[in-house]
Amino acid sequence: MSKEVVIIGAGLGGLLCGRILSRRGFSVTVLEADFFPGGILHGFEWEGTVCERGFHSVGGLAPGEPLEKIFRPLGLMDLPWYKAQPDEGFPFLRLNTRSDFELEHILEPFRKSTWRLEGGGVALSNALAEGLDIRFGKKAVSIEKQVVTCEDGSSFKADAIISDLHPAATMNLVRDHVRPAYTKRLAKLQDGPGIFSVHCLMEPGCVKWQSGAIFLDSSLMIHFGEPGTNILELLCFGEGNPEEMIARASVRLPSLKVLKYHAMMCQGYGVMKHSNADFISAQTPLPWLFLTGQNLGLHGILGTAISALNTCRTIP
Ligand SMILES: Cc1cc2nc3c(=O)[nH]c(=O)nc-3n(C[C@H](O)[C@H](O)[C@H](O)COP(=O)(O)OP(=O)(O)OC[C@H]3O[C@@H](n4cnc5c(N)ncnc54)[C@H](O)[C@@H]3O)c2cc1C
């Protein structure tokens, strides 16, 4: 008989665990509070175009590189990935709100090769979700004795439970006794700043589309939307000023004409990592409860994928 696994959260971490464990013969159910898969990977619609939230490009997809090794067995290399031309400023990128330790690990795969996907984060989310038993609108409100209970009163029992939520948020749901030192350590984790993004609708043809992002003096990233759209996205860590960001982008792209913009703060770029001591184990003190997602190790698509692999290896 296959082992039952319940995964809380259909973000990248949860979906990857679901796919890996399904292939290993586990019976997997994913509980997602929202009504779409992918978490922050999933884009949103604005001005008749799908705009990105948590997906722009990935590093490490060339043959033999780390993400390729994780994605290929899951069939994700069959998606229409294409190489992005790296910006010359990229190797020198320094984002002063993240530690150098973290950036070295995160940026290295991008330096080797940077990739984009036709259809972006929505295409990746849908491909990850394919074939999985995902229950949408199921917000987990408690975890006790191997049972997850949702806001609507439904409950799901499993041999193993994996949470794709922030580790501290997971422990807030747990009703079983857990040694206080563990929960205190998780509660003290320092979250990194969110990412402020400004989606701009440009006058058609005002600037030439580029596959790779442009990095302005280490604190502003310019990213072109899907080919054929007139969307340009500006991103910075922490709170930003849209007008000022557009003005700075216009210095690099003098012919840029922004017709309207949509600004938003996207919380969630993972717990800050200053050293290996900030890494969190997938195994919690409860033998049947496991963690996954961007907060365990490094964030980003590669970091979250490596954590998913580790989580699945930890499941007996
Ligand atoms: C603006 C932005 C741009 C980014 N761009 C890139 C990029 O270009 N390249 C890259 O590599 N990385 C990028 N990232 C990082 C990458 O998107 C994330 O590291 C990754 O998607 C995190 O996945 P996750 O599964 O850990 O978290 P999440 O996506 O947050 O997944 C958690 C899931 O749990 C669900 N949930 C929450 N609470 C409950 C509950 N109580 N019950 C049930 N479900 C619940 C949520 O709805 C969500 O679906 C970006 C991030 C941001 C914010």
C-beta 258 within 6 A of ligand 1? no
Average pLDDT over residues 21-41: 97
Nearest-atom number in ligand 1 for the CA of 59 is 11
Where b means 16+ CB within 10 Å and e means fewer, 284-296 reads bebebbbbbbbbb
Q: For residue 140, is pLDDT > 60? A: yes
C-beta 165 within 6 A of ligand 1? yes
Nearest CA to ligand 1 atom 15: 300
- What is the CATH topology of the domain spanning 193-267? Alpha-Beta Plaits (3.30.70)
C-beta 315 within 6 A of ligand 1? no
C-beta 268 within 6 A of ligand 1? yes
Expressed in percent and rounded to 5, the helix, strand and coil fractions of the chain are 30, 30, 40
Q: For residue 53, is pLDDT > 50? A: yes
Average pLDDT over residues 227-246: 93
Q: For residue 108, is pLDDT > 80? A: no
- What is the CATH topology of the domain spanning 4-39+128-190+272-314? FAD/NAD(P)-binding domain (3.50.50)
Q: Which band of pLDDT confidence, cut at 50, 70 and 90, is reported for residue 273?
A: confident
Q: In sequence order, what DSSP letters do the residues of 184-197 get, joined into one string?
A: HHHHTPPBPP-EEE
Which of 164, 174, 264 most suits a substitution to test ligand 1, by most atoms within 8 Å of the C-beta?
A: 164
Averaged pLDDT of the chain: 91
What letter would DSSP give residue 145? T
Residue 271 pairs with which residues in a beta bridge? 191
Cβ contacts of residue 184 below 8 Å, gap of 6+?
A: none
Average pLDDT over residues 180-184: 94
Determine the pLDDT at residue 1.
52
Residue 42 pairs with which residues in a beta bridge? none
Q: In sequence order, what DSSP letters do the residues of 40-68 get, joined into one string?
A: GGS-EEETTEEEPSS-S-EE--STTSHHH
Average pLDDT over residues 10-33: 97
Q: Which band of pLDDT confidence, cut at 50, 70 and 90, is reported for residue 10?
A: very high
C-beta 304 within 6 A of ligand 1? yes
Determine the pLDDT at residue 189.
86
Determine the pLDDT at residue 91.
46
Determine the pLDDT at residue 87.
63
Cβ contacts of residue 222 below 8 Å, gap of 6+?
A: 213, 214, 215, 216, 232, 233, 234, 249, 252, 253
Nearest CA to ligand 1 atom 12: 300
Average pLDDT over residues 57-77: 93
Structure tokens at 101: 């330790």
* Distance between CA atoms of residues 90 and 222, nearest Å: 12
Q: Which long-range contacts (CB under 8 A, 24 or more apart) does 22-25 make?
A: 22/131, 22/132, 23/73, 23/74, 24/312
Q: For residue 123, is pLDDT > 90? A: yes
C-beta 39 within 6 A of ligand 1? yes
Q: For residue 131, is pLDDT > 90? A: yes
List the one residue out of 75, 76, 83 whose CA is nearest residue 124: 76
pLDDT tens, position by position, 191-232: 888 889 999 999 999 999 999 888 887 678 899 999 999 999
Nearest-atom number in ligand 1 for the CA of 34 is 47
Q: Which band of pLDDT confidence, cut at 50, 70 and 90, is reported for residue 99?
A: low
pLDDT tens, position by position, 254-268: 999 999 999 999 876
C-beta 197 within 6 A of ligand 1? yes
Average pLDDT over residues 104-123: 84
Domain ranges (residues) in the chain: 4-39+128-190+272-314, 193-267
Determine the pLDDT at residue 88.
56
Q: For residue 97, is pLDDT > 60? A: no
Nearest-atom number in ligand 1 for the CA of 121 is 17
Percent of the chain residues topping a pLDDT of 90: 75
Residue with tokens 């609708």: 201
Q: For residue 92, is pLDDT > 60? A: no
